[in-house]
Amino acid sequence: MSWKLSIAAGLLLVTLPNLEAQTAADAPATREDVMKFLEVTQAKSRVEQVLAGMARQARVSAEEGFKQRIPDATPEQLTRVDALADSIFKNFSPDEFVEAIVPIYQRHLTKSDLNAILAFYASPAGQKLQKETPAIMSESMEAGGEIARKKMSAINQKIETQIDDMAREEQQKKGRGLKTEPAKN
């Protein structure tokens, strides 16, 4: 019996470090793990880029909307519209967005997941992805912005038409209401 106990103890000693390593690797990602990942992936600059793209799109959309209402808008008026659109994004902080996503990454990725992802970013393919991502994001935002502008123009026109119809209906109801009321002497 003692040789069986010795083999079992030996197997336990051999497998225990592997189990501990696997448990440590599958441990939840720490804030530091996530911050390292976000630093490597340049998340803050990506957020800044997204916000800048959104601001550009807001500016273009605001100008287009203004020009629809005032076709002969002056450069001064358009400058004011641009300033208004720009002011919308001044209160957005990239750091606030980064802080908000840390717990999200911690819920979805383990320490070993982040280590594997970081290993990818250290590879030639990961380095290329890092290098090309800003251009990919910029071009994607331009394409998405163009789609949104095209659709929003039609949507805005449809909304305005419906609002005009509703206003006309309301005026007609009020007009009929006045006609049906008996005259006071």
Q: Note whether 15 and 96 are within 8 A (CB).
A: no
Distance between CA atoms of residues 162 and 111, nearest Å: 53
Find out whether 42 and 127 touch, Cβ atoms under 8 Å: no
Residue 13 is predicted with a pLDDT of 43
In a domain, 15, yes or no: no
In a domain, 164, yes or no: no
Judge whether 122 lies within some domain: yes
94 belongs to a structural domain:
yes
Residue 136 lies in a domain: yes
> Domain range for residue 30?
23-152
80 assigned to some structural domain: yes
Residue 65 lies in a domain: yes
| Nearest-angstrom CA–CA distance, 62 and 64 | 5
- Per the structure, how many domains does the chain have? 1
Q: Which residues are CB-neighbours of 36 under 8 A, at least 6 positions away?
A: 114, 118
| 30-68: burial string, b at 16+ Cβ within 10 Å, e else | eeebbbebbebbebeebbbbbeebebbbbbbbbbeebee
Averaged over successive runs of 10 residues, the pLDDT of the chain (185 residues) comes to: 45 42 70 93 86 85 88 90 85 89 94 94 92 88 84 80 86 70 53
Task: Give the model's pLDDT for residue 102.
Answer: 94
Question: How buried is residue 14: exposed, middle or buried, by Cβ count under 10 Å (0-12/13-18/19+)?
Answer: exposed
Residue 183 belongs to some domain of the structure: no
Please name which of 104, 130, 131 lies closest in space to residue 117, comparing C-alpha atoms: 130
